[in-house]
A and B are shown apart, each in its own frame.
Chain A
């Protein structure tokens, strides 16, 4: 074994691979033992490994929003629990919006890891709980919420596990405040179980190689990751690139929210992403706390500059993310934020729009905006409460050289929940789940289609809370590509259809059908340059109609 100042590449590789596999297995265990749909079907969770100073060294390949929040979470935990206050077998629980990933449903568990009573690092995971109490099932109601205290139970860091014993008092306190205590309990325990298996492996790694070697390896990974990121950033032409777009509103009859970003590359290997020119924080639960803003801004930069390198604190160092304090993208507590997931796609879209000026061949048309509705109430069949947590995911924007992908998870990376699973678990009947023709923005490379999902309530009553956007501002096209169509949300589309706001909350009753029609994605390049054969294929496959092709492309059969 080499001396501490220069670690050999073989050892380095072995330690690196071990860390990646520990972080990944932590996530697999969590997914397979979790109870909530968001975690087990939606992959709405994340995992991380830290050094003893809460510096992020490795993450599993899961939800980027949680991933990007992780570095701050561990540091906050050490502020509440300095290393000397922590003991083997302890684990810290929190869900605070400011300390964590920006809304209460994401619970973090951070477990210190020890070798012979010396703390050598921490493992952590987050999971989107199905409910954390508050005004509406799912704890994501946007409209009518003016401060975080209405959104459910807020947990500042607490010692949830002490010396290996789960603190039943704390658990009871939590479960007494949530709508689905069985599921939340199951997920909290699943998080703990998953952390334990990772902690065991991390401890073994330290025992096998020794703290000196591993410290050296950590330093080397972080420095190299930073260097790789700097090299990539330095290749982007220097300059300040700005972009503006708008969220529809923050609830029925409210004003649009301005999303303005300035992205400055210095040409030497750093970038600053500043959202300060955006609107002020709004009195509705959709504000994006700085951890969350930072998470998706870093995600966007990584996508453009360094997609495949595993994320750690090193490659985040050259990326500075700022937003004026008190603004929509850096609110002060207790700004409400339950529905902030609606925003992440737009953080990316805005940065993409800015970077398109510097890297036209890397950027793409805007995404179809996703939707994240919850329907919750009492299931008449069982007398038990239910929450149907759903994700609607449609097309990608067109990009240089290819059409936008149809119906793929944008930005955050989750799976949909099968219709047959929803109908088995919840009193709902899905009438349609299909692509919408003529919705993708026209272009040399067209945008992906919007998506329609119609869901009928079979229970007597329930609360519907919608979380969508792009009802008023269509997804933009790039370099001459056209916008996609706007989204629509309708109640009972086949009988006296009623238009709903994108963040509507309302009571619905048996037989009501909620029809969500997501926007189409933006096109890329002038429609006049589209290949005729591609248009013909689209018509045969029903992605566009002949009439649309005639109008947008001047196409004749």
Chain B
């Protein structure tokens, strides 16, 4: 079995080629080509296959994570989309949920919707919350709406009617009528894209799906045909936000499911690393140039959320467009290597503004003048100016110091070291806040977790972060720099189908639950037909539940097996347990409601645990100094610090901090009191001393 995975990121496109029989792995990183992402992909594929001397025809599985869908939304470069909705509710999308994301800022604007009011058309119909048709669909109003759609030359249309999740028949009728009259129009209907209640979120999800559909469709088709021209004979699998792979047909129909494609793959990699190291509970930590992303793996399974926001402003909740699609739980904050550090009210503020890669941190010497986290890390001696990204970028330490002095040390009357340390610590503290939300606040005990760190800057901040939050072990996997591509290799094809049905659970609801899951199974089986490899399907169920009268639901795994007498009671019991875990109390005896019901079909295919990553992405092989001065407050500031190449570490056994371990992809900082070694699985593993106090 030979697998090829690639992940398109903002700066680089990463590749991993894995030959299971030969037990060999190859990596590659090439610059991304945002205007035509397939260019970098095809060039990279040619290059990595050449390196490995393997023909594409011999590859059994190709897996892909992409930002094509996200970028189309963020840059508002999707298609000219129209919307059909229930009469009286034309403005659902424009009204939104109406809360300001900044309480005291009355000059803000709402996130720009993906279409204008002129492109929203009403039809006469009405369905009640329980699916009863209160007003039949008026065909004349449908014809009028289609006339208007045709006049505006939409190539893609969303249909989102009130309560369509409870009865989709009107949406189906409208779709077939549109397709009869205008077969070239791509139609997305809310009862299929997002069959859940809360009309704004469902409508926005459906419109976003329609908005990116033509673009993703063309892109995937192009990639498919280019691969087949090069001799590839199997399916191209695409990563969904849920961490499951999907066949290209489904990605083209429901592109909204692949919006968080790349980050999801990174979490899967962490789950696999957790397994190798024997941890059930993993906190994932990916820090790049602009943002840090934190996620979680529970009982070996990546945590899912039912919705997320695209394109938020300053990472504020409520400032982006809400998308109802299962996604791996990730908190993203504006803390990356490029985050700008400055003084506000006599205190240090870091991010969310980023210098990006252009002009970049001051030390890049590309015209950036403002102090960034990377500049601070360079001044602190954590980064070797001659060995950043394997030596591919030479850093200017003097420029970094000048920026730190100008922006921080001067105004605060601090030494340059103290000021740089301040920026490093505040960036880490910002991530600590986010990590607290992911861990303690969601009932995950840090003392029982492992922190898996990846991304260009993650391993540098990881040990400090772990110490602040109380996580005893940090793991930096091999290939941390191409983490998401590695994660793709761990993924299984997966289908999630869902429906909203608010049900108060008691002994009489067993049949209703059985009926809901009967319907979902039919739907899932239809989608499974798109997966050629669909043998050995594994089924699992979960639901979003709450105490009757509450408005927010929690995710509850439901028992497998037949749904028969007593099932509702088991579901209620599972709810109480989950609720108690999350909120530290539960009210047994209170009435419980199920709201959203989810069925998951997984087709095992990933190369779980089979991977041995050796070698490196970029490597200049240059000899480097064995010690340099680096800043550790525990040692009173700058102190002579040992520097070790990661490949030399296993020979040393275990090493005690302060120390710096260098990998071509990333730098790992080991704090005083911590020890580091290479685990039997080949990962770098830090034992964090939680006794050491910070200041």
Which residue numbers of A lie inside 8 Å of B, CB to CB?
1, 8-14, 16-17, 21, 25, 28-29, 31-35, 37, 40-41, 43, 61-62, 64, 67, 182-183, 186, 189, 193, 197, 220, 224-225, 228, 299, 302-303, 306-309, 311, 364, 393, 396, 399, 402, 405-410, 413-416, 418-421, 423-424, 429-435, 451, 454, 540-543
Rounded to whole Å, the gap between the CB of A59 and the closest CB of chain B is 10
Nearest-CB residue, chain A, relative to B422: A10
**Distance of A431 Cα from B476 Cα, bound (Å):** 57
Sample (19) of A-B pairs whose CB atoms are under 8 Å apart: A12-B346, A13-B349, A17-B430, A25-B437, A28-B441, A29-B583, A33-B583, A224-B346, A302-B104, A303-B104, A409-B99, A413-B99, A413-B103, A415-B97, A419-B89, A420-B129, A423-B163, A431-B88, A433-B88
* Sample of 18 more A-B contacts, CB < 8 Å, known A10-B418, A17-B433, A451-B95: A10-B422, A13-B422, A13-B426, A13-B429, A25-B436, A37-B551, A306-B104, A307-B105, A307-B107, A396-B106, A405-B108, A407-B95, A409-B99, A414-B99, A420-B163, A420-B198, A454-B88, A541-B117
- Whether a CB of chain A sits under 8 angstroms from the CB of B109 is yes
The listed residue (B102, B412, B583, B584) touching A307 by CB distance below 8 A is B102
B695 sits at the interface (CB 8 A): yes
- Which of A14, A228, A433 is the most central at the interface, judged by chain B CB atoms within 10 Å of its CB? A14
The 7 lowest CB-CB distance pairs between A and B, nearest first, are A432-B88, A40-B551, A541-B117, A10-B422, A13-B347, A407-B95, A420-B197
> Known: A9-B347, A17-B430. Is A61-B421 also a contact (CB below 8 A)?
no
Q: Using Cβ atoms and an 8 Å threshold, which residues of chain B touch A421?
A: 197-198, 551
How near does chain B come to A525, taking the closest CB pair, in angstroms?
16
Q: Which partner residue on chain B sits nearest A539 by CB separation?
A: B118
Complex CA distance for A460 and B309, rounded to whole angstroms: 41
Per-residue A-contact encoding for B314-355, CB less than 8 Å = 1, 0 else: 000000000000000000000000000001011111000000
Task: Say whether A31 contacts B552, CB under 8 Å.
Answer: yes
Bound CA–CA A220/B116 (angstroms): 48
The answer, among B94, B129, B199, for a CB contact under 8 Å with A406, is B94
Partner of A420, one of B199, B346, B550: B199
Q: Indicate if the CB atoms of B345 and A224 lie closer than 8 Å.
A: yes
Note all chain B residues with C-beta closer than 8 A to A11: 695
Is B550 a contact of A33 with CB atoms below 8 Å? yes
Q: Which residue of B lies closest to A422 (CB)?
A: B129
Partner of B441, one of A12, A17, A29: A29
Q: How far is the CA of A501 from the CA of B669 in the complex (A)?
A: 68
Q: Complex: how many Å from CA A451 to CA B91?
A: 10
With a cutoff of 8 Å between Cβ atoms, the chain B residues found around residue A407 in the complex are: 91, 94-96, 98
* Bound-complex Cα distance A409 to B110 (A): 11
Does B608 lie at the interface of the complex (its beta carbon under 8 Å from any beta carbon of A)?
A: no
Question: In residues 489-518 of chain B, which contact A (Cβ within 8 Å)?
Answer: 502
Q: How far is the CA of A1 from the CA of B636 in the complex (A)?
A: 11
Which of B98, B162, B425 is within 8 Å of A393, CB to CB? B98
Q: Are B585 and A193 in contact (CB under 8 A)?
A: yes
Q: Which residues of chain B (555-612) have a CB below 8 Å from chain A? A: 583-585
User: B103 contacts which of A12, A62, A228 (Cβ < 8 Å)?
Assistant: A62
Interface centre among A303, A307, A416, A419 (most CB of B within 10 A): A419
Which residue from chain A places its CB closest to the CB of B198 in the assembled complex? Answer: A418
Assess A12 versus B347: contact at CB under 8 Å? Given A1-B695, A421-B197, A421-B198. Answer: yes
Q: Does B92 contact A (CB under 8 A)?
A: yes
B530 to chain A: closest CB distance in Å?
30
* Whole-angstrom distance between the Cβ of B440 and the nearest chain A Cβ: 9
What band does the interface of chain B fall in when counting residues whose beta carbon is under 8 Å from A? Answer: 35 or more
A62 to B317, CA, bound (A): 12
Cα of A41 to Cα of B197 in the assembled complex, Å: 14
Q: Please, which residue of chain A has its CB at the minimum distance from the CB of B96?
A: A407
Would A9 and B346 be within 8 Å (CB), given that A33-B550, A34-B550 are in contact? Answer: yes
Q: Is B628 at the interface (CB under 8 A from chain A)?
A: no
Say if the beta carbon of B285 comes within 8 Å of chain A. Answer: no
- Give B contacts to A, CB under 8 Å: 88-92, 94-100, 102-110, 116-118, 128-129, 134, 162-163, 197-200, 343, 345-349, 412, 414, 418, 421-422, 425-426, 429-430, 433, 436-437, 441, 502, 547, 549-552, 583-585, 695
Q: Tell me which of B98, B198, B418, B549 contacts A186 (CB under 8 A).
A: B549
CB distance from B119 to the nearest CB of A (A): 9
CB–CB A364/B551 < 8 A: no
**Contact pick for B348, options A13, A32, A303, CB 8 Å:** A13
- Judge whether A415 and B94 touch: CB under 8 Å: no
CB neighbours of B109 from chain A (8 A)? 402, 405
Contact B348–A10 (Cβ < 8 Å): yes
B433's nearest neighbour on chain A, judged by CB, is A21
Contacts of A435 in B (CB 8 A): 91, 94-95
Give CA–CA (A413, B317) in the complex, Å: 14
Contact A541 B118 (CB under 8 A): yes
The chain A residue with its CB closest to the CB of B423 is A10
A303: which B residues are within 8 A, CB to CB? 104-106
Residue of B nearest to A299 (CB): B104
Measured in the bound complex, the distance between the Cα atoms of B86 and A384 in whole Å is 30
Name the contact of A21 in the complex, choosing from B88, B162, B436, B502 (C-beta under 8 A). B436
Max count, chain A CB within 10 A of own CB: residue among B91, B348, B502: B91
- Using A34-B550, A424-B129, A434-B88 as known contacts, say yes or no to A9 and B95 having CB atoms under 8 A apart: no
CB distance from A25 to the nearest CB of B (A): 6
Across the interface, which residues of A come within 8 angstroms of B436, CB to CB? 21, 25
Q: A37-B551, A193-B583, A542-B118 are in contact. Are A434 and B91 (CB under 8 A)?
A: yes
B300 shortest CB reach to chain A, Å:
26
* Option from A33, A420, A454 in Cβ contact (under 8 Å) with B162: A420
Bound state CA distance, A399 and B90, in angstroms?
A: 26
Contact A543 B117 (CB under 8 A): yes
Let me know if B106 and A416 touch, CB within 8 A. no
Q: Which residue of B lies closest to A11 (CB)?
A: B695
* Contact call B99/A10, Cβ cutoff below 8 A: no
Question: What residue of chain A has the Cβ atom nearest to residue B430's Cβ?
Answer: A17
Inter-chain contacts of B103 with A (CB < 8 A): 61-62, 64, 67, 413
- Note all chain A residues with C-beta closer than 8 A to B585: 189, 193
List the B side residues contacting A13 at CB < 8 Å. Answer: 347-349, 422, 426, 429
- Candidates A9, A364, A418; contact of B197 at CB < 8 Å: A418
Smallest CB–CB gap between B225 and chain A, Å? 39
Q: Closest approach, in angstroms, between the C-beta of A226 and any C-beta of chain B?
A: 11
Q: How far is the CA of A393 from the CA of B97 in the complex (A)?
A: 10
- Measured between beta carbons, the chain A residues less than 8 angstroms from B129 are 420, 423-424
**Cβ B95 vs Cβ A433 within 8 A:** yes
A111 to chain B, nearest CB (A): 16
C-alpha gap A1/B695 in the complex (Å): 7
In the complex, which residue of chain A has the Cβ closest to the Cβ of B99? A415
Q: Contact check, A35 vs B163: say whether CB atoms are below 8 A apart.
A: no
Q: Determine the chain B residues whose CB is within 8 A of the CB of A429 once the complex forms.
A: 128, 134
Which residues on A sit within 8 Å (CB–CB) of B117?
541-543
With A14-B429, A420-B163: A186-B347 Cβ-Cβ less than 8 Å: no
In the complex, what residues of B have CB within 8 A of residue A393's CB? 98
Alpha-carbon distance A429/B94, docked complex (angstroms) = 21
Whether the pair A14, B550 counts as a contact (CB closer than 8 A) is no
Alpha-carbon distance A85/B430, docked complex (angstroms) = 38
Asked if B198 and A9 sit within 8 Å, CB to CB, the answer is: no
| Set of chain B residues within 8 Å of A25, measured between Cβ atoms | 436-437, 441
Residues of A near B426 (CB, < 8 A) are 10, 13-14, 17
Query: Which of chain B's residues have a CB closer than 8 A to the CB of A14?
Result: 425-426, 429
Q: Once the chains are docked, how many angstroms separate the CA of A435 from the CA of B412?
A: 51
- Within the complex, the shortest CB–CB distance from B166 to chain A, in Å, comes to 9
Instruction: Answer whether A43 and B348 are a contact pair too, CB < 8 Å, given A418-B200, A421-B198, A541-B116.
Output: no
- C-alpha gap A302/B106 in the complex (Å): 11
Residues on A with beta carbons closer than 8 Å to the beta carbon of B105: 303, 307-308
Give Cα distance in the complex from A384 to B388, angstroms: 67
**Cα(A306)–Cα(B547), bound, Å:** 41
With a CB–CB cut-off of 8 A, which chain A residues contact B347? 9, 12-13, 16
Partner pick for B100 among A67, A306, A311, A408, CB 8 A cutoff: A408
